[in-house]
Amino acid sequence: MSVQFNKVAILGLGLIGSSIAHAVRAYGGAKSISGHAKSAETLRIAAEIGFADNLHATAADAVKGADLIILCAPVGACGALAAAIKDAVEPGAIITDVGSVKGAIVRDCGPHIPSHAHFIPGHPIAGTEQSGPRAGFAELFQNRWCILTPLPDTPPEKVDALEAFWTGFGSKVERMAWDHHDLVLAMTSHLPHLIAYNTVATAGDLEQVTQSEVIKFSAGGFRDLTRIAASDPTMWRDVFLNNKDAVLEMLGRFSEELSVLQRAIRWGDGETLFNLFTRARDIRKGIIAAGQDTAAPNFGRDPTHKS
Protein backbone atom coordinates (compact mmCIF):
# COMPACT_ATOMS: atom_id res chain seq x y z
CA MET A 1 0.00 0.00 0.00
CA SER A 2 1.37 3.40 -0.89
CA VAL A 3 0.39 6.49 1.05
CA GLN A 4 0.63 10.13 0.22
CA PHE A 5 -0.35 12.72 2.76
CA ASN A 6 -0.86 16.19 1.47
CA LYS A 7 1.24 17.95 4.07
CA VAL A 8 3.17 16.59 7.03
CA ALA A 9 3.93 18.94 9.91
CA ILE A 10 6.97 17.94 11.93
CA LEU A 11 7.09 19.61 15.35
CA GLY A 12 10.60 19.29 16.73
CA LEU A 13 13.56 19.02 14.33
CA GLY A 14 16.15 16.99 16.20
CA LEU A 15 17.51 13.58 15.19
CA ILE A 16 14.10 11.96 14.66
CA GLY A 17 12.23 14.96 13.25
CA SER A 18 14.95 15.78 10.75
CA SER A 19 15.29 12.11 9.78
CA ILE A 20 11.55 11.92 9.04
CA ALA A 21 11.90 14.99 6.81
CA HIS A 22 14.85 13.44 4.95
CA ALA A 23 12.94 10.15 4.63
CA VAL A 24 9.88 11.87 3.16
CA ARG A 25 12.13 13.55 0.60
CA ALA A 26 13.84 10.25 -0.20
CA TYR A 27 10.93 7.80 -0.13
CA GLY A 28 7.73 9.87 -0.29
CA GLY A 29 4.80 9.86 2.13
CA ALA A 30 3.77 13.52 1.87
CA LYS A 31 3.64 16.16 -0.84
CA SER A 32 5.02 18.88 1.39
CA ILE A 33 6.85 19.19 4.70
CA SER A 34 6.40 21.95 7.22
CA GLY A 35 8.63 22.13 10.24
CA HIS A 36 8.68 23.85 13.61
CA ALA A 37 11.30 23.98 16.32
CA LYS A 38 11.25 25.86 19.60
CA SER A 39 14.83 27.05 19.21
CA ALA A 40 15.71 29.75 16.67
CA GLU A 41 19.11 28.13 16.19
CA THR A 42 17.50 24.81 15.23
CA LEU A 43 15.23 26.63 12.75
CA ARG A 44 18.29 28.36 11.27
CA ILE A 45 20.14 25.05 10.82
CA ALA A 46 17.01 23.40 9.37
CA ALA A 47 16.76 26.25 6.83
CA GLU A 48 20.44 25.88 5.97
CA ILE A 49 20.11 22.10 5.39
CA GLY A 50 16.78 22.59 3.64
CA PHE A 51 15.00 19.37 4.64
CA ALA A 52 11.59 21.12 5.02
CA ASP A 53 9.55 23.11 2.50
CA ASN A 54 8.39 25.61 5.11
CA LEU A 55 9.63 26.45 8.58
CA HIS A 56 7.56 28.15 11.25
CA ALA A 57 8.38 29.82 14.53
CA THR A 58 5.11 28.61 16.06
CA ALA A 59 3.71 25.08 16.10
CA ALA A 60 0.21 26.38 15.30
CA ASP A 61 1.42 27.95 12.05
CA ALA A 62 3.23 24.74 11.07
CA VAL A 63 0.13 22.52 11.38
CA LYS A 64 -2.17 24.70 9.21
CA GLY A 65 -3.32 22.63 6.25
CA ALA A 66 -1.49 19.52 7.52
CA ASP A 67 -3.24 16.13 7.36
CA LEU A 68 -0.40 14.48 9.31
CA ILE A 69 1.15 16.07 12.41
CA ILE A 70 4.11 14.43 14.13
CA LEU A 71 5.26 15.53 17.57
CA CYS A 72 9.04 14.99 17.64
CA ALA A 73 9.91 16.66 20.94
CA PRO A 74 11.16 15.05 24.16
CA VAL A 75 8.31 13.23 25.95
CA GLY A 76 8.02 15.92 28.63
CA ALA A 77 7.45 18.66 26.03
CA CYS A 78 4.72 16.98 23.96
CA GLY A 79 1.77 18.00 26.15
CA ALA A 80 2.56 21.69 25.69
CA LEU A 81 2.97 21.19 21.93
CA ALA A 82 -0.41 19.48 21.68
CA ALA A 83 -1.99 22.36 23.62
CA ALA A 84 -0.30 24.91 21.36
CA ILE A 85 -1.75 23.43 18.14
CA LYS A 86 -5.22 22.42 19.30
CA ASP A 87 -7.05 25.33 17.65
CA ALA A 88 -5.15 25.02 14.37
CA VAL A 89 -5.54 21.28 13.66
CA GLU A 90 -7.47 20.55 10.44
CA PRO A 91 -10.54 18.27 10.56
CA GLY A 92 -9.59 14.65 9.87
CA ALA A 93 -5.88 15.19 10.55
CA ILE A 94 -3.82 12.44 12.16
CA ILE A 95 -1.72 13.50 15.14
CA THR A 96 1.06 11.12 16.11
CA ASP A 97 4.35 11.29 17.99
CA VAL A 98 7.68 9.46 18.24
CA GLY A 99 8.19 9.39 22.00
CA SER A 100 9.84 6.51 23.86
CA VAL A 101 7.04 6.42 26.44
CA LYS A 102 3.41 6.09 25.40
CA GLY A 103 1.40 6.23 28.64
CA ALA A 104 2.66 9.72 29.43
CA ILE A 105 1.92 10.86 25.88
CA VAL A 106 -1.68 9.61 26.13
CA ARG A 107 -1.99 11.32 29.51
CA ASP A 108 -0.39 14.64 28.50
CA CYS A 109 -1.56 15.04 24.87
CA GLY A 110 -4.92 13.26 24.97
CA PRO A 111 -6.85 16.16 26.59
CA HIS A 112 -5.67 18.60 23.90
CA ILE A 113 -6.61 16.57 20.81
CA PRO A 114 -9.62 18.14 19.03
CA SER A 115 -12.53 15.75 18.54
CA HIS A 116 -12.28 16.19 14.76
CA ALA A 117 -8.69 14.84 14.70
CA HIS A 118 -7.25 11.32 15.21
CA PHE A 119 -4.56 10.73 17.81
CA ILE A 120 -2.37 7.67 17.19
CA PRO A 121 0.66 7.52 19.51
CA GLY A 122 3.72 6.00 17.84
CA HIS A 123 7.34 5.11 18.46
CA PRO A 124 9.98 4.27 15.84
CA ILE A 125 12.60 2.05 17.54
CA ALA A 126 15.41 3.81 15.77
CA GLY A 127 18.04 6.35 16.64
CA THR A 128 21.70 7.04 17.08
CA GLU A 129 23.68 8.50 19.96
CA GLN A 130 23.72 11.83 18.13
CA SER A 131 21.11 14.55 18.42
CA GLY A 132 20.02 17.81 16.84
CA PRO A 133 18.96 18.83 13.31
CA ARG A 134 22.30 17.92 11.72
CA ALA A 135 22.09 14.31 12.99
CA GLY A 136 19.17 13.19 10.82
CA PHE A 137 19.37 10.95 7.74
CA ALA A 138 16.83 9.28 5.48
CA GLU A 139 17.87 5.66 6.15
CA LEU A 140 17.44 5.82 9.93
CA PHE A 141 14.16 3.87 9.92
CA GLN A 142 15.16 1.16 7.45
CA ASN A 143 14.67 -2.32 8.81
CA ARG A 144 13.60 -0.93 12.19
CA TRP A 145 10.30 -1.56 13.95
CA CYS A 146 7.82 1.23 14.55
CA ILE A 147 5.23 0.61 17.28
CA LEU A 148 1.81 2.21 17.04
CA THR A 149 -0.47 2.26 20.10
CA PRO A 150 -3.85 3.32 18.65
CA LEU A 151 -6.70 4.08 21.03
CA PRO A 152 -9.84 1.92 20.72
CA ASP A 153 -11.99 4.53 18.93
CA THR A 154 -9.54 5.37 16.12
CA PRO A 155 -10.87 4.54 12.63
CA PRO A 156 -8.85 1.57 11.25
CA GLU A 157 -8.18 3.33 7.93
CA LYS A 158 -6.38 6.13 9.78
CA VAL A 159 -4.12 3.63 11.53
CA ASP A 160 -3.52 1.89 8.20
CA ALA A 161 -2.52 5.21 6.60
CA LEU A 162 -0.03 5.96 9.37
CA GLU A 163 1.34 2.42 9.15
CA ALA A 164 1.86 2.85 5.41
CA PHE A 165 3.70 6.14 6.03
CA TRP A 166 6.24 4.26 8.20
CA THR A 167 6.55 1.17 6.01
CA GLY A 168 7.34 3.54 3.15
CA PHE A 169 10.58 4.39 4.98
CA GLY A 170 11.53 0.71 5.20
CA SER A 171 10.12 0.22 8.70
CA LYS A 172 8.07 -2.69 9.97
CA VAL A 173 5.04 -1.76 12.08
CA GLU A 174 3.61 -3.49 15.14
CA ARG A 175 0.51 -2.41 17.01
CA MET A 176 0.11 -2.89 20.75
CA ALA A 177 -1.48 -1.31 23.81
CA TRP A 178 0.38 1.69 25.23
CA ASP A 179 0.95 0.08 28.63
CA HIS A 180 2.49 -3.01 27.04
CA HIS A 181 4.72 -0.78 24.91
CA ASP A 182 5.99 0.95 28.04
CA LEU A 183 6.86 -2.37 29.66
CA VAL A 184 8.59 -3.78 26.56
CA LEU A 185 10.63 -0.63 26.01
CA ALA A 186 11.53 -0.41 29.70
CA MET A 187 13.37 -3.70 29.09
CA THR A 188 14.76 -3.28 25.57
CA SER A 189 15.69 0.38 25.76
CA HIS A 190 15.21 2.23 29.06
CA LEU A 191 16.98 -0.27 31.34
CA PRO A 192 19.97 -0.65 28.95
CA HIS A 193 20.38 3.13 28.81
CA LEU A 194 20.12 3.41 32.60
CA ILE A 195 22.72 0.69 33.08
CA ALA A 196 25.00 2.27 30.50
CA TYR A 197 24.72 5.71 32.12
CA ASN A 198 25.37 4.12 35.50
CA THR A 199 28.44 2.21 34.34
CA VAL A 200 29.92 5.37 32.88
CA ALA A 201 29.17 7.25 36.12
CA THR A 202 30.84 4.48 38.13
CA ALA A 203 33.97 4.75 36.00
CA GLY A 204 34.02 8.51 36.43
CA ASP A 205 33.95 8.37 40.22
CA LEU A 206 36.83 5.97 40.92
CA GLU A 207 39.89 7.10 42.78
CA GLN A 208 42.02 3.97 42.06
CA VAL A 209 41.65 4.14 38.27
CA THR A 210 42.14 7.38 36.34
CA GLN A 211 39.82 8.75 33.66
CA SER A 212 42.73 8.47 31.23
CA GLU A 213 43.09 4.73 31.96
CA VAL A 214 39.35 4.18 31.55
CA ILE A 215 39.52 5.82 28.12
CA LYS A 216 42.70 4.07 26.96
CA PHE A 217 41.58 0.58 27.90
CA SER A 218 37.91 1.00 27.00
CA ALA A 219 38.12 -1.47 24.11
CA GLY A 220 37.83 -4.25 26.70
CA GLY A 221 34.05 -3.73 26.63
CA PHE A 222 33.40 -0.40 28.34
CA ARG A 223 33.33 1.58 25.08
CA ASP A 224 30.29 -0.38 23.87
CA LEU A 225 28.23 1.01 26.76
CA THR A 226 29.39 4.57 26.24
CA ARG A 227 27.65 4.86 22.87
CA ILE A 228 24.12 4.75 24.24
CA ALA A 229 25.25 6.75 27.30
CA ALA A 230 26.09 9.58 24.87
CA SER A 231 22.43 9.98 23.89
CA ASP A 232 20.50 13.21 24.42
CA PRO A 233 20.25 13.93 28.19
CA THR A 234 16.96 15.86 27.98
CA MET A 235 15.23 13.11 26.05
CA TRP A 236 16.41 10.48 28.51
CA ARG A 237 15.60 12.50 31.61
CA ASP A 238 12.04 12.71 30.30
CA VAL A 239 11.90 8.97 29.57
CA PHE A 240 12.82 8.04 33.14
CA LEU A 241 10.53 10.65 34.70
CA ASN A 242 7.63 9.44 32.55
CA ASN A 243 8.03 5.66 32.63
CA LYS A 244 8.91 5.41 36.29
CA ASP A 245 6.88 2.34 37.27
CA ALA A 246 7.97 0.11 34.39
CA VAL A 247 11.60 1.19 34.70
CA LEU A 248 11.66 0.57 38.46
CA GLU A 249 10.08 -2.85 37.84
CA MET A 250 12.79 -3.81 35.32
CA LEU A 251 15.48 -2.35 37.54
CA GLY A 252 14.23 -4.52 40.41
CA ARG A 253 14.50 -7.63 38.20
CA PHE A 254 17.97 -6.56 37.09
CA SER A 255 19.14 -6.12 40.69
CA GLU A 256 17.77 -9.54 41.69
CA GLU A 257 19.67 -11.20 38.84
CA LEU A 258 22.79 -9.24 39.72
CA SER A 259 22.68 -10.52 43.30
CA VAL A 260 22.71 -14.07 41.96
CA LEU A 261 25.73 -13.35 39.75
CA GLN A 262 27.50 -11.52 42.56
CA ARG A 263 27.02 -14.50 44.89
CA ALA A 264 28.27 -16.90 42.21
CA ILE A 265 31.45 -14.83 41.88
CA ARG A 266 31.92 -14.57 45.64
CA TRP A 267 31.45 -18.32 46.11
CA GLY A 268 33.54 -19.27 43.08
CA ASP A 269 30.54 -21.00 41.49
CA GLY A 270 31.87 -21.39 37.95
CA GLU A 271 29.01 -23.58 36.79
CA THR A 272 26.35 -20.92 37.44
CA LEU A 273 28.49 -18.33 35.63
CA PHE A 274 29.17 -20.61 32.66
CA ASN A 275 25.52 -21.57 32.24
CA LEU A 276 24.29 -17.99 32.40
CA PHE A 277 26.98 -16.80 29.96
CA THR A 278 26.12 -19.59 27.52
CA ARG A 279 22.43 -18.67 27.48
CA ALA A 280 23.31 -15.07 26.61
CA ARG A 281 24.77 -16.13 23.26
CA ASP A 282 21.39 -17.37 22.05
CA ILE A 283 19.70 -14.01 22.35
CA ARG A 284 22.50 -12.35 20.36
CA LYS A 285 22.04 -14.98 17.64
CA GLY A 286 18.30 -14.28 17.65
CA ILE A 287 18.87 -10.54 17.21
CA ILE A 288 21.19 -11.10 14.26
CA ALA A 289 18.84 -13.66 12.68
CA ALA A 290 15.99 -11.13 13.01
CA GLY A 291 18.03 -8.51 11.13
CA GLN A 292 18.23 -6.22 14.16
CA ASP A 293 22.04 -6.11 14.34
CA THR A 294 25.03 -6.83 12.20
CA ALA A 295 26.75 -10.23 12.31
CA ALA A 296 30.13 -8.59 11.67
CA PRO A 297 32.54 -8.81 14.64
CA ASN A 298 32.77 -5.63 16.76
CA PHE A 299 29.68 -4.24 14.98
CA GLY A 300 31.84 -4.09 11.84
CA ARG A 301 33.90 -1.20 13.23
CA ASP A 302 37.02 -0.30 11.31
CA PRO A 303 39.75 -1.20 13.86
CA THR A 304 41.80 1.85 12.92
CA HIS A 305 38.80 4.23 13.35
CA LYS A 306 40.18 6.32 10.54
CA SER A 307 36.93 6.37 8.58
E-assigned strand segments in the chain: 5-11, 30-36, 54-56, 68-71, 94-97, 118-120, 122-124, 145-148, 172-175
Specify the pairing of strand 54-56 against strand 30-36.
Answer: parallel
Rule CB under 8 A: which of 158-197 touch a second copy?
Answer: 170, 174, 183-185, 187-197
Q: Which of 127, 101, 102, 121 is nearest to 19 (CA)?
A: 127
Rule CB under 8 A: which of 122-151 touch a second copy?
Answer: 125-130, 135, 139-140, 142-145, 147
Rule CB under 8 A: which of 75-104 touch a second copy?
Answer: 100
Binding segment for a second copy among 48-56, 67-75, 153-161, 251-259 (CB under 8 A)?
251-259
Asked if 226 is part of the footprint of a second copy (rule: CB under 8 A), the reply reads yes
Asked if 303 is part of the footprint of a second copy (rule: CB under 8 A), the reply reads yes
Distance of CA 296 to the CA centre of its chain: 24
Candidate residues 91, 152, 156, 268; the one interacting with a second copy per rule CB under 8 A: 268
How near is the Cβ of 268 to a second copy at its closest, in Å? 6
Binding segment for a second copy among 39-47, 78-86, 90-98, 221-229 (CB under 8 A)?
221-229
How near is the Cβ of 58 to a second copy at its closest, in Å? 26
Residue type, 191: L
Q: What angle do CA 21, 5, 68 make, to 5 degrees?
A: 70
CA distance 255 to 90: 48
Asked if 107 is part of the footprint of a second copy (rule: CB under 8 A), the reply reads no
On whether the CB atoms of residues 15 and 132 are closer than 8 A, the answer is: yes
Asked if 26 is part of the footprint of a second copy (rule: CB under 8 A), the reply reads no
Binding segment for a second copy among 57-65, 80-88, 107-115, 206-214 (CB under 8 A)?
206-214
